[in-house]
Amino acid sequence: MLIKTGGGLIVNITSSGASRYAQCVAYGVAKAATQKLAADMAEELRPHGVASVALWPGFTRTEDVLSNPDVYDNLTGTVSPRYNGLAVVALAADPRIMDKTGRHLKIGELAQEYGFVDPETPPVR
């Protein structure tokens, strides 16, 4: 559909687990594979104006994180799902998105580049 419409953006979610140990072997392999998927799709889709990136969000305050205070007792340094969404919006609106195709991008760095901030501060416990 993106090829037919003349371009677009595919966003894959990965993490630093792609390049260092985090949680378990399967997690790291899945994150590394996701980055490879984004890079290879970028090569094949570039001629059609379709960008493919892999995003590294920060530690996100998902429903699971917020509903397990015994496990996740410190929300310092966490980000809201809306913050991650703002990164996707900024990328989708970027007229030079093809310059980023095939790369893995850290959302914190995109926030600095595009000038957005987390609209939700972490809850205090």
Catalytic residues: 27
The rounded distance, in Å, linking the Cα atoms of 28 and 17 is: 5
Q: Are 78 and 61 in contact (CB under 8 A)?
A: yes
- CA-CA distance, 83 to 111, in Å (whole number)? 9
Give the separation between CA 113 and CA 107, rounded to whole angstroms. 10
Q: How far apart are CA 50 and CA 12, in angstroms?
A: 13
